[in-house]
Amino acid sequence: MRRALATLAVILPVTAPQAQTAAEPVVRFPSAAALDDVVVTATRLPTPRSQLAGTVQVIDQEVIRRSVAQNVTDLLAENAVGFFSTWTPGQTSLNIRGGASDGQGRDFRSQVLVLINGRRAGTANLSKLSPAEIERIEIVRGPASVVYGSGALGGVINLIMRDGRTSPGGFAELGLGSWGLAEGRARYGTRFTGGDVQGGDVYAGFYGGRRDSYRAGDDGGVQQGTQWNRLGGLAALGIETPIGRIGTSLRTDGIYDAGFRGSGWNTTNREDRSNASADIFLNGATEDGRFRWDGQAYAVRDVDAFRWRSPVQRSAAGLPVPGTDLDNNTRTLDILGLRLQPSMRLWEGADLLVGLDLERSTLRSTRERRGLPGSGITTQVAPMDNDQTDSSAGLYAEISQRLFDNQVTLRGGVRQTWGNTAFDQTPNLPLQRTGSQDYDATTWSIGASYQPVSFLALRANAATGFRAPTATELAADFTALGGGRTFGNPNLNPEQSLQYEVGAAVFLPGLRLDLALFQNTISDRIITRLRPGVANTSDWANNPGDVEVRGLEFQLDGDVARLFGITQFNWRAYANGSWNFDMRDNGASPTANTRNVERMYRYQATIGTTISQPRWDLTLQGVLRGPMYYNTEENLLIPQAEPNREFIHRKGAFWVWNLRGSFQPLPERAPNIRIFGAVTNLLDKNYHPIFIATASEPFLGDARFANGGRGNSAPGREFIGGLRFTF
């Protein structure tokens, strides 16, 4: 290992730089039914999917255009990417192959790495992000690549943003819908030549929206406290120079004044969550393409501002007592990062990518709490997160070798990550253990793909991942909104994962089928454990047993009209899904009623079909949300809803159906105007993917702790319509 790292240290300064970043594909990508998509996230180099050793799922521009999803979470859920725990309109956690993100979207506590343009997004909360400025999403399942550091145990989600090359021309859209929904977006991109530069491109896009509190399905009533406002924008500029393309981008994305009902059904909470960033890219290549370079510097600011209150809390005796009239918590994460990734063609069919990642982040939090009369709350408590400064460096290399006329591709890589987590002085935490803790990890990946015939690709891989403990997990002493207290543990081990996978893809004219069989094992998962004999008190701890998930995933996309020789109209059908036939938590409490992994679907799927002609299109989509296990934090009735507070519930499977379409009314007089409409939750089902007490009768929650709400349900039947104009 030391010899390999020394070799990398020599190569990095002298290797000539590279032509492309994950954010900037040089071609317009084909639809999902194409023979062989080119993707960039798995290797950070443009690579045909048939030559990858791992599974990549792509949500392309055509899928995004047909969707009326109001955040990235809804868009991914429509495509069966994983399990999403929807806590609020602006907050969601997710689970892919057993790797879960934090329930409050904290980036460094996530086991699924969220990227924007190939670098850390700074948040694991996808609901605060809008799909308005996204050109394409690539999902790498599992820790299948060493080009990413801490956090990629369950997978990587890369949001590739628009620029003037991928989104030329103008676009404007206005949409209206149920519950006061109003959304608008506008963008324009173009390329230019002349002057002192070889050419370039420019792009600008803006969007905004709002919605009132929605109504639950099946006469569930209005869910007060589910309203939101959205605002964001993106500006990008690229210039072609003799040393390559220099690109810059500025973006902001956020959801404001959003409700947060949470486990206590609280109708008065409000949140502002935003994510902003600035990026500078440099990518180029020598004329013969043998040497390439790729550099990226970035700055990210991610802010969560909570205006919460918990008027009724649970006492140590399990009784309702007066709580807080105000509990405001603001968390600000600032990240500065640099990536250098030269690559070179060593010999015919052999490519070497080396990389250096440097990143420094600071997390700062404040909290203000005010108790109600009779609560006994007279002092301030520490924020939900310790103040933290994290510095990390990653050095890695990945080599690929194509053999036998490109039928076989071998891949292997190794990464060494070093880091330091400092426990900075945190407000209202007088007994805090300050200081710092170093960490380092070696991760690797190895795999192969084999294409025996033009329409079939086989693959296999093994890979590892890790996540370092945060300052909060190492040295916390914080009081939760509901009054519970959690302490840090300085002896925590980093989380680690080991994945094995085999897969196959069939590429036929008009048909693509991808199958993957995997096993992902997560060791030393960091969890909270109740402290024996002490009420409402927990400690961070490593899970005493491994989390093991074995499953089968599939992606199917077919041009039905082509397969059956239909020429009068286009007809596409698709399906995505997974079946986790073995999902076992070997560290579950011996008294637990199940060892199934919590907050993870046993199976899920999306099926859909689109029929279209040049002037119109119509899509029917069904989303299957499979059985899920969960030890809810809700205050449920005992024994009517659960036998005890530690009971793990099983939520059954259910379908949600959506209908969408668009129409061009005046093709000759106004060919660029298109009307669109949608009905989501077509059958008006009353459901929620995670909470047990929904807005239905009988009410399964303990009304003494309801804080104004009567259960949590997802939106019922929703009507959306609008107008699109391109120029």
Dihedral sign from CA coordinates of 19, 22, 23, 27 = positive
Please write the tens of the pLDDT for every residue from 114-141: 999 999 999 999 999 999 999 999 999 9
In angstroms, rounded to a whole number, what is the distance separating the alpha carbons of residues 303 and 274?
5
**Residue 606 CB neighbour total at 10 angstroms:** 20
Please write the tens of the pLDDT for every residue from 239-292: 999 999 999 999 999 999 999 998 889 999 999 999 999 999 999 999 998 999
Check whether 161 has a pLDDT greater than 80: yes
Out of 204-218, 572-586, 696-710, least confident range: 696-710
In angstroms, rounded to a whole number, what is the distance separating the alpha carbons of residues 171 and 165?
14
pLDDT of residue 14: 32
Alpha-carbon separation of residue 347 from 48, 127, 401, 558 (angstroms): 20, 45, 9, 38
Rounded to an integer, the average pLDDT of 599-605 is: 95
Query: Who wins on pLDDT, 468 or 707?
Result: 468
SS3 annotation, 401-468: EEECCCCEEEEEEEEEEEEEEEECCCCCCCCCCCEEEEEEEEEEEEEEEEEEECCEEEEEEEEEEEEC
DSSP string, 504-544: EEEEETTEEEEEEEEEEEEES-EEEEEPTTSTTEEEEEE-S
With cut-offs at 50, 70 and 90, classify the pLDDT of residue 302: very high
With cut-offs at 50, 70 and 90, classify the pLDDT of residue 173: very high
pLDDT of residue 144: 72
Q: Is 255 exposed, middle or buried (0-12, 13-18, 19+ CB in 10 A)?
A: buried
In angstroms, rounded to a whole number, what is the distance separating the alpha carbons of residues 276 and 259?
21
Percent of the chain with pLDDT over 70: 94
Mark residue 452 as left, alpha or beta (left: phi above 0; alpha: psi -120 to 50; beta: remaining): alpha
**Residue 11 CB neighbour total at 10 angstroms:** 14
Check whether 8 has a pLDDT greater than 50: no
Rounded to an integer, the average pLDDT of 23-49 is: 60
Q: Where are the domains of the chain?
A: 2-726
With cut-offs at 50, 70 and 90, classify the pLDDT of residue 195: low
Q: Which residues of 484-516 are buried (b: 16+ CB within 10 A; e: fewer)?
A: bbbebbeebebbbbbbbbebebebbebbbbbeb
DSSP string, 541-567: EE-SS-EEEEEEEEEEEEEHHHHTT--
Rounded to an integer, the average pLDDT of 13-36 is: 36
In angstroms, rounded to a whole number, what is the distance separating the alpha carbons of residues 259 and 578?
32
Structure tokens at 198: 């070889």
Rounded to an integer, the average pLDDT of 293-313 is: 95
Helix (H) or strand (E) holding 302: strand 291-314
Check whether 158 has a pLDDT greater than 80: yes
- Three-state DSSP at 137 gives strand
CB 75 within 8 A of CB 110: no
pLDDT of residue 707: 86
Rounded to an integer, the average pLDDT of 476-491 is: 80
Out of 27-36, 245-254, 665-674, least confident range: 27-36
Query: Who wins on pLDDT, 433 or 615?
Result: 615
pLDDT of residue 37: 81
In angstroms, rounded to a whole number, what is the distance separating the alpha carbons of residues 357 and 152?
15
Closest CA to 17 of 341, 394, 353: 341
Residues in a beta bridge with 291? 344
Mark residue 448 as left, alpha or beta (left: phi above 0; alpha: psi -120 to 50; beta: remaining): beta
pLDDT of residue 196: 66
Fold of 2-726: Maltoporin; Chain A (2.40.170)
Q: Where are the beta strands (DSSP E) in 7-131?
A: 38-39, 47-48, 56-59, 83-88, 91-96, 99-100, 112-116, 119-120
pLDDT of residue 36: 67
**Chain centre distance of CA 550:** 21
Check whether 617 has a pLDDT greater than 80: yes
- What residues contact residue 189 under an 8 Å CB cut-off, 6+ apart? 162, 163, 164, 165, 166, 167, 168, 169, 201, 202, 203, 204
CB 141 within 8 A of CB 55: yes
Please write the tens of the pLDDT for every residue from 76-115: 999 999 998 888 888 888 999 999 988 788 898 999 999 9
With cut-offs at 50, 70 and 90, classify the pLDDT of residue 438: very high
With cut-offs at 50, 70 and 90, classify the pLDDT of residue 339: very high
Rounded to an integer, the average pLDDT of 339-345 is: 95
In angstroms, rounded to a whole number, what is the distance separating the alpha carbons of residues 474 and 469?
7
Q: What is the mean pLDDT of the chain?
A: 90
Structure tokens at 722: 């609008």
With cut-offs at 50, 70 and 90, classify the pLDDT of residue 49: confident
Q: Is 14 exposed, middle or buried (0-12, 13-18, 19+ CB in 10 A)?
A: exposed
Check whether 197 has a pLDDT greater than 70: no
In angstroms, rounded to a whole number, what is the distance separating the alpha carbons of residues 543 and 531?
14
Gyration radius (Cα) of the chain, Å: 25
Closest CA to 334 of 254, 392, 255, 390: 390
Check whether 659 has a pLDDT greater than 60: yes
Check whether 22 has a pLDDT greater than 70: no
Backbone angles phi and psi of 429, in degrees to 5? -130, 70
pLDDT of residue 578: 96
pLDDT of residue 485: 82
654-663 vs 673-680, strand pairing mode: antiparallel
CA angle at 331 for the pair 325 and 334, rounded to the nearest 5°: 165
**Residue 276 CB neighbour total at 10 angstroms:** 17
CB 257 within 8 A of CB 227: yes
pLDDT of residue 41: 85
CB 240 within 8 A of CB 140: no
Please write the tens of the pLDDT for every residue from 498-529: 999 999 999 888 899 999 999 999 999 999 88
Rounded to an integer, the average pLDDT of 455-461 is: 95
pLDDT of residue 482: 67
- What residues contact residue 238 under an 8 Å CB cut-off, 6+ apart? 24, 163, 164, 165, 200, 201, 202, 245, 246, 247, 248, 281
Please write the tens of the pLDDT for every residue from 387-432: 999 999 999 999 999 999 999 999 999 999 999 999 999 999 887 7
pLDDT of residue 19: 33
pLDDT of residue 33: 35
